[in-house]
């Protein structure tokens, strides 16, 4: 296993920068660090020796000492795990949202390599439809085109931010849900307040600022005090050749999946 060690001064910089920048879509922002964020960032147990196996999801979150099970009151009823720091920050955010009449529901959280492989290969083989309408092998017989089609919304195993315990999906898996009614209120609250608790929407609308990567995902939120240093680790150490062990993995290099997808996130979610 290759390891990427974070010097204390570098970690301190990452954590400080994670507090000071809100998502570009935020309706409200402030240069002052809110008290709850300050508390969230005093983390003397940062995983200095998290290596490539951690980045690529080759571990069992149920057995990992830094992961905790999410209480059912925060979820859709399925069992989920998160990094303990992510979970603590989410609990604070959830409580604040409830005070404003908004209920945040976790509908997906940590997915390790094996879980992501099941999702990917089901789509690769056509056992699971793409966006509910296409069988990938029939619609995209060319392997690279098939991989790109799946990558609109699903990660290759080994490349998902959901491996890290920092990312979660909230309330609904369609952008349209957040256009009106309850969904609009939820998304409006998140864009206005999520940054106060350390969270950012990594898959903002694609455009000049984010030309590569997955399509927009309004439901996907990432805890930056951990995710930013891990993204920096991926930039420094993760290679396309590390992405292997599943059907279609041979396309990772030609697609340049690390640069375009692992690193193709909302600039507001990256280190400065």
Secondary structure of the chain in the HEC alphabet?
CCECCCCHHHHHHHHHHHHHCCCCCCCCCCCCCCHHHHHHHCCCCCCCCCEHHHHCCCCCCCCCCCEEECCHHHECCCCCEEEHHHHHHHHHHHHHHHHCCCCCCEEECCCCHHHHHHHHHHHHCCCCCECCCECHHHHCCCHHHHHHHHCCCCCCCCCCHHHHCCEEEECCCCHHHHHCHHHHHHHHHHHHHHHHHCEECCCCCCCCCCCCCCCCCCCEEEEHHHHHHHHHHHHHHCCHHHCCCCCCHHHHHHHCHHHHHHCCCCHHHCCC
Segments making up each domain of the chain, as ranges: 8-44+52-220+235-269
pLDDT digits (tens, 9 = 90+) for 203-249: 999 999 999 999 999 999 999 999 999 999 999 999 999 999 999 99
Could you say which of 3.40.50.720, 3.30.1380.10, 3.30.210.10, 3.30.70.20 is the CATH number of the domain covering 8-44+52-220+235-269?
3.30.1380.10
Full-prediction pTM beyond 0.95?
A: no
pLDDT digits (tens, 9 = 90+) for 51-61: 999 999 999 99
């Amino acid at each position: 296993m290759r390891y990427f060690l974070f010097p204390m001064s570098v970690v301190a910089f990452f954590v400080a920068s994670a507090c000071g920048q809100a998502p570009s879509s935020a309706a409200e922002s402030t240069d002052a660090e809110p008290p709850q964020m300050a508390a969230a960032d005093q983390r003397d147990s940062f995983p200095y020796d998290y290596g490539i196996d951690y980045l690529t999801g080759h571990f069992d979150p149920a057995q990992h000492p830094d992961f905790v099970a999410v209480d059912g009151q925060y979820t859709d009823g399925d069992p989920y795990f998160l990094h303990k720091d992510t979970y603590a920050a989410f609990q604070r955010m959830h409580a604040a949202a409830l005070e404003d009449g908004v209920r945040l529901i976790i509908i997906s959280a940590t997915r390790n390599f094996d879980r992501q492989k099941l999702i990917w290969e089901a789509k690769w083989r056509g056992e699971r439809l793409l966006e509910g309408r296409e069988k990938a092998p029939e619609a995209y017989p060319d392997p690279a085109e098939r991989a790109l089609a799946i990558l609109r919304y699903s990660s290759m195993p080994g490349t998902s931010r959901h491996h890290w315990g920092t990312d979660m999906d909230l309330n609904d898996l369609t952008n349209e849900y957040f256009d009106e009614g309850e969904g609009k209120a939820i998304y409006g609250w998140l864009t206005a307040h999520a940054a106060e608790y350390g969270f950012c929407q990594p898959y903002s609308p694609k455009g000049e600022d984010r030309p590569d990567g997955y399509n927009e995902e309004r439901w996907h939120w990432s805890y930056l005090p951990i995710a930013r240093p891990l993204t920096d680790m991926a930039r420094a150490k993760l290679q396309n050749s590390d992405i292997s062990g599943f059907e279609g993995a041979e396309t990772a290099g030609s697609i340049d999946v690390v640069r375009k997808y692992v690193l193709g996130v909302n600039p507001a979610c990256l280190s400065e």
